[in-house]
Structure 1
Amino acid sequence: MKLWVQLTLILVLLELQNGFSQHVKRQKETPENRLRPGRKKVKVRYPKLKEKESGGKAQFILTQVLEKGRFQRLGDTLTLNPGKTLELRCKGTKIGWAYPSYLDTFNDSRLSIKQHEKFGQLILTSPSAADTGEYSCWVILCDGEECEKDPDRTSITYIYFTDKDELFVPSAIHFEIVYLRPDKPATVPCRVTTPKATVSLHREVPPEEIPADGSLISYHPTKGFILQEPSPEHGGTFYCKANSTTKTTPQISNKYQLLYVEVPSGPPFATIQASSSEVSGGEVFNITCTVLGEPEVEVNFNWRFPGQDQRPVSIQSSWRLIHRGVGYTTRISQSVMTVEDVETIDIGNYICTAKNSHGETSVATLVNSYD
């Protein structure tokens, strides 16, 4: 009798244990957003990964349209053959685009950009090696009339249009000036149409190859040769040479004139000087406003003077590059005001304001009468 009771108790305990295990298993398998009696369905929201956390771009929204309606998501680079129409799409109801700038400069009719209901579209017909460059798109967010670029939904792809006869990306500029500054890297922009090309940098006089050590001088096929710490010794005429597996003869790029800049970046450094500080009635005098600055930075001049809007004056502006010392290049910009047949109203302060992209500077000189 005791044995029978013991067996019965063991069976009861096993059934209870099995039921408890099944109950726990059902609890684990029940998702958090499952419908339960008397409760609403709750949508689980996961936090959006930042670029560093996701291991790449936050959003991939740029695709290439292939044949038969197929799409290819684009990465950092893409290599294509020239001639075949390129169609890119970017998801979004309002899309901005960027592409090689010369397509805008020459108002190229081969380029077409349209905004559709759910995506932006870029079409480039008959692409060539010259179209090699960076193509990007981004979502534009608007709040009323104010719009801005969404950095989390931006895609950038560098596209090579590989042409076996054009190893270097063609340029309308056959002799380009590259300015060297001691405070930032400089780039010799001999870009190639295939990332597989082997490129070297050469000085014309004296003829020599400039070794790229990967540190102070490095090469990137989408940019060119990068000089991390330019110096006067890097000045001169240079060119690049490219070799590929499909051509036995190396190809030579355009020439580049490297000029070392003496004047640092900043607002204009202006001076003013009158041909005479004292004048008499009926005489002629002129005032020259001079700025020494960066070679490629344009300077605009503005004048204020005693007889303004009442007396006719002649103002002429000009600029030129000058060499100061060995290997140093500076842009000299000048504005010259000429006053003829002096009258009493012409006596007083002459103020010149020089302005560039970094700021403006005003200088003045006083013209007296010795009558």
Structure 2
Amino acid sequence: MGLGLQRKMLRSGGPRLVPSLLLLLLLLPEALSAAAGQTSAKSKRPKEPGENKIKPANKRGKPTLAPGKDRDSIATMPKTSSIMMQVMEKGRFQKPAATLSLAAGQSLELRCKGNKIQWHYPEYLDTFKDSRLSMKQHDRYGQLILVNATAADTGEYSCWQQVCSGYVCRKDDTKTGTTYIFFTEKGELFVPSPSYFGVVYLNPDREAVVPCRVTVPSAKVTLHSEFPAKEIQSNGSIIYDIKRGFVYLHPQLDQQGVVYCRAEAHGAPQISIKYQLLYVEVPSGPPSTTIVASSNRVNGGDDITVLCTVLGEPDVEVEFRWIYPGLKDERPVTIQDTWRLVSRGLGCTTRLSQSVLALQDFETIDAGYYICTAQNLQGQTTVATTVQLS
């Protein structure tokens, strides 16, 4: 439209357009408000499923694994799950916690799922073949029952499934269960000991434990020497394990002596039995064995003795076996085994184990090799000597 024509229209229609423009300006705010209301009304409409759905930023999805080796290794990892259940009153069951605290006098029943269940429990119950403890294997679970529990029953109770192939059985590490139970008893802060005095051997190549365990998990326990009378500070070389006692991580010669433990709970202190700490010089391993005969050449009718000797760790037992010339002919001999602790200076203690074979009225069939085999948990050693008829 040309500029001249526009001016002409304004001159001809200007006065008539002014009222219309004013009316439009007056109605504009109401129109805008109505439009906003319609928009707001639309926004309140419930959304259809899937419409404008936005996932929260903090929501995690399942991690994706790269195909190949990682996925395969994770898929083949054995899954370990506890098979142990504690039978509660009224026939209820619950998985026992890592540690439990029960009052003495109560009964305990544990069950482990499986058709070949083996059990581990405090050695105290085995040592005295306690009739309060019973175990039974059912079709689908193993059962352990302990009645009228005492503070001495405090310890670890565990089970595992046996997997057998013929006569050979092994432990299934993926099907096990364990719990440590404190049986609290009035006047018994420490787990009672079968003796009034204990001996602990300090071996330089392994930990040593002063076994003063408590029946109250919250008890404060300290270690003390009898002479000089003082509390022994841990300083990192000695730690307290509530399930084992005071652990000497790296035993030293200067740590030997007589010690005891002190426990306190609810303002009532108690003293444990005393323990003699003895330093051991002999390293662990198969027996260090020697053999010697009273004489290597004897006359007919003489009596002889053959002595087999082992110097070893004080707390390691040794078993002896003999082979001698008259064995196949059932030649009568006398064999006597003994042991004792001996001091080797500097406060070191050694176990001297000996086996003596005695034979009377030496004959021709008795001439030959006398062989002694000494065995401990680490292995065995065989030594021999000859005895000849002059």
Check whether TM > 0.5.
yes
- Residue aligning to 1:328: 348
Rg larger in 1 or in 2? 2
Q: Distance in 1 between matches of 2:216 and 2:76?
A: 36
What's the offset of the Cα at 1:167?
A: 0.4
- Residue aligning to 1:27: none
**Distance change >3 Å, CA 146–CA 286, structure 1 → 2:** closer
SS of residue in 1 equivalent to 2:326: coil
**Distance change >3 Å, CA 342–CA 137, structure 1 → 2:** closer
* 1:206 paired residue among 224, 228, 236: 228
Structure 1 residues 79-111: Cα deviation after superposition (integer angstroms, max 9, x where no partner): 111222222222334432221122222222222
Counterpart residue type for residue 230 of structure 1: P
What's the offset of the Cα at 1:284?
A: 2.7
- Residue aligning to 2:183: 161
What's the offset of the Cα at 1:150?
A: 1.7
What's the offset of the Cα at 1:60?
A: 2.7
Matched, 1:92 2:114: yes
Matched, 1:270 2:289: yes
Structure 1 residues 195-246: Cα deviation after superposition (integer angstroms, max 9, x where no partner): 1011111122232221123x2100011110000001221222211111112x
Q: Distance in 1 between matches of 2:130 and 2:101?
A: 22
The 8 Å contact of residues 124 and 152 in structure 2, kept in 1 or not, is answered as no
What's the offset of the Cα at 1:305?
A: 2.8
SS of residue in 1 equivalent to 2:272: strand
Gaps of 5+ in 1: 1-18, 25-45, 52-57
Counterpart residue type for residue 352 of structure 1: C
Matched, 1:217 2:238: yes
Q: Distance in 2 between matches of 1:204 and 1:319?
A: 29
Q: Distance in 2 between matches of 1:217 and 1:96?
A: 34
Number of residue pairs aligned between Structure 1 and Structure 2:
322
Gaps of 5+ in 2: 1-47, 54-73
The 8 Å contact of residues 153 and 183 in structure 2, kept in 1 or not, is answered as yes
- Residue aligning to 2:301: 282
Alignment of 1:228-243 (within 5 A): 228-243=249-264
What's the offset of the Cα at 1:50?
A: 5.2
What's the offset of the Cα at 1:48?
A: 7.7
Q: Distance in 2 between matches of 1:318 and 1:220?
A: 36
- Residue aligning to 2:371: 351
Q: Distance in 2 between matches of 1:162 and 1:48?
A: 43
Matched, 1:109 2:109: no
The 8 Å contact of residues 91 and 119 in structure 1, kept in 2 or not, is answered as yes
Q: Using the aligned pairs only, state the percent identity.
A: 56
Counterpart residue type for residue 97 of structure 1: W
The TM-score normalised by the length of structure 2 is: 0.75
Q: Distance in 1 between matches of 2:212 and 2:310?
A: 32
What's the offset of the Cα at 1:268?
A: 1.3
Alignment of 1:14-25 (within 5 A): none
Q: Distance in 1 between matches of 2:100 and 2:240?
A: 19
**Distance change >3 Å, CA 122–CA 48, structure 1 → 2:** farther
Where has structure 1 moved over 6 Å in runs of 4 or more? none
SS of residue in 2 equivalent to 1:307: helix
The 8 Å contact of residues 233 and 327 in structure 1, kept in 2 or not, is answered as no
Q: Distance in 1 between matches of 2:142 and 2:320?
A: 43
SS of residue in 1 equivalent to 2:195: coil
Matched, 1:365 2:351: no
User: Going by fraction, where is helix more abundant, 1 or 2?
Assistant: 2
What's the offset of the Cα at 1:155?
A: 1.4
Alignment of 1:164-175 (within 5 A): 164-175=186-197
Q: Distance in 1 between matches of 2:367 and 2:99?
A: 65
Matched, 1:124 2:146: yes
Farther-moved stretch of structure 1 (275-284 vs 171-180): 275-284
The TM-score normalised by the length of structure 1 is: 0.79
What's the offset of the Cα at 1:337?
A: 2.2
SS of residue in 2 equivalent to 1:104: helix
- Residue aligning to 1:302: 321
Structure 1 residues 235-277: Cα deviation after superposition (integer angstroms, max 9, x where no partner): 22211111112x33x2111121212122111111111122223
Farther-moved stretch of structure 1 (332-341 vs 175-184): 332-341
Q: Distance in 2 between matches of 1:349 and 1:148?
A: 41
Q: Distance in 2 between matches of 1:145 and 1:302?
A: 28
What's the offset of the Cα at 1:61?
A: 2.4
Q: Distance in 1 between matches of 2:171 and 2:344?
A: 44
